[in-house]
Structure formats: C-alpha cells, structure tokens
Amino acid sequence: MSTPIERQLVVFDFDWSLADQDSDRWIFEVLAPELRRKMKNLKKEMQWTDLVAMSLRELHEKGATREDIENALRQMPFHPAMVRGVTALKNKSPPQTTFLCLSNANIVFITTILKSKGLENLFNEIITNPAEWDASGLLKLRRRIDPNGPQHQCKAGCSPNMCKGDELEAFLQRHPAFDRVIYVGDGSNDFCPVMLKTLFSAAAIAACMALSKGMKKAAALHAKCAIGQALGKSKKYSDNSDTNVRVELRA
C-alpha cells in the first residue's frame, strides 16, 4: 500500500502556466505595440530581463502611467477554472498544499495580477525578479541575480537572471518534508528544476510540461491536469475537452 500524501508542494511557473499569457509581452502588446515589435527584434541580442527593463523605461518616456500598466495587467487572460482549481486545492486538507511561484517575470506584474483574481494569499513564496515603482511612475526592474556579482553555474538552459533549479533546491532545504512535489511549467527554463536539480525520484514528481512553443494549449491543459491530480482527481483528461477539465476542477 502506498504512503498517504499529507504534505505536498505545488510549484508554478507564472506566464502561460498559472496565467494564460506572457505578462512581459502582454503590457507592451496592449500599451505600445511598436515596443513589442522592437523587443522581438532585440531578443537575441539582449538578456530578456534587461530588455524588459529597457522597454519599461521607453514606455515611461512615451507617457504610459503606472495605472495604465496595472490596468493592462488586470486584463490579462487568466482562466477562471484555474482560479477555482488552485483555491480549492489551497482550502482542501489533507493533503496540506504549499504553493511556490518560480517565475522569470517580476514581483510587481505577478502580485498585481494575483490580487486582481483574489489570489494574493495563494503563494507561500514568490521567487522572481525584483521590481519597484519610483516616484515618477517608472517601474524599475532588475535581474534576480545581479549581473555584476557572482553568476549561477547552471548549464541546463536557465537564463542568467535566475536558475530555477537552484531556487527550488534552496526552497526545499528551507522547507523540507514534502511527500510530493508537483511542478507546472511550460518554458525551457522549467526543464532544469524538474529534470536536473530536484532531489526527488522521478516517481515522486508529476512533471506536466510542454517545452515547445507549439504546445501552449497542451501546456495550459496539463497545468489544469496537474491541479486536478493534486486535488485527488484521477480521471483522464482529453486534449480537446476544456469543458471536461472545468467540470473536473469544480470544488
């Protein structure tokens, strides 16, 4: 007989995993499409966090306000079934669920969106890039790992601003004794924490991932599948039946 799960950790990437869009791109798509196009052209030449920080400065120079950015974030697509699913999981016990957010977006984008969905108390910890508003309304963003200090040594494809595997390992050392870890992510930098750095055996990890761009829909579905699994739902999900997924996730 298998050991009952009493404590589980659910780790969420944010963009295209918990949320149904990419917050870094979304605000420019909404507020300044020309900057979004410029980012696309510069993506291969600049580190992504630095590019978003530079684009935020340019957006500020164009006159976009803090309110404009916050409104754009609040309108970003976010599936209501995901809100219901994670809320149900948070309230269900046993197993007791701890939520961790590991994201390459930034703390202001994430907390603004979570608050607009009533999820501001979902995560026990949010590990991401720091950002803060200055008095003029500019959102000042910087890398989690300072480019002028020691860098991470990850060779698994993580961006220089953060190694998600290192962060997950450190979190698990600070918070040991989970019976199960469930990881929900869709990006190449989610490969590291799942496949290379976790201390858990493959059997202890439900890795619901889709690594290629063409699999966004599948990634979103798998995210819902993972939450369903964490809630103890065992029904198989079909890949074209969003209605069924929503029914399954009902608390």
Q: Is position 15 annotated in a ligand binding site? A: yes
Binding of Zn ion by 226 (CB under 5 A): no
C-alpha 114 chain-centroid distance: 11
15 a catalytic residue: yes
Task: Locate 220 and state its tokens.
Answer: 């979103």
Closest CA to 8 of 229, 222, 221, 234: 229
Closest CA to 198 of 171, 229, 162: 171
CB 166, CB 197: distance < 8 Å = yes
In terms of C-beta density within 10 A (0-12 exposed, 13-18 middle, 19 or more buried), how is residue 182 classed?
Answer: buried
Residue from 13, 22, 24, 190 carrying the catalytic annotation: 13
Residue from 15, 22, 24, 190 carrying the catalytic annotation: 15
Long-range contacts of 151-156 (CB under 8 A, 24+ apart): 154/192, 156/191, 156/192, 156/195, 156/196, 156/197
Question: Residue from 86, 105, 145, 163 that binds Zn ion (CB under 5 A)?
Answer: 163
Binding of Zn ion by 156 (CB under 5 A): yes
Among the listed ranges 26-34, 119-127, 149-157, 225-233, the one in contact with Zn ion (CB under 5 A) is: 149-157
Binding of Zn ion by 154 (CB under 5 A): yes
DSSP letters, 1-22, are -PPPP-EEEEEE-IIIIISSS-
Binding of Zn ion by 158 (CB under 5 A): yes
- Residue with smaller CB distance to Zn ion, 186 or 248: 186
- Residue with smaller CB distance to Zn ion, 107 or 163: 163
Question: Residue from 82, 192, 225, 227 that binds Zn ion (CB under 5 A)?
Answer: 192
C-alpha 121 chain-centroid distance: 15
CB of 166 to Zn ion, least distance (A): 6
Q: Is position 134 annotated in a ligand binding site? A: no
CB of 143 to Zn ion, least distance (A): 14
In this structure, are strands 131-133 and 96-106 parallel, antiparallel, or unpaired? Answer: unpaired
- Residue with smaller CB distance to Zn ion, 22 or 167: 167
239 a catalytic residue: no
- Residue with smaller CB distance to Zn ion, 163 or 182: 163
Question: Residue from 165, 185, 187, 228 that binds Zn ion (CB under 5 A)?
Answer: 165
Distance CA 223, CA 217 (A): 10
- Residue with smaller CB distance to Zn ion, 24 or 190: 190
Residue numbers belonging to the annotated binding site for Mg(2+): 13, 15, 186
Question: Which active-site residues does the annotation give?
Answer: 13, 15
Site residues (CB under 5 A) for Zn ion?
Answer: 154, 156, 158, 163, 165, 192
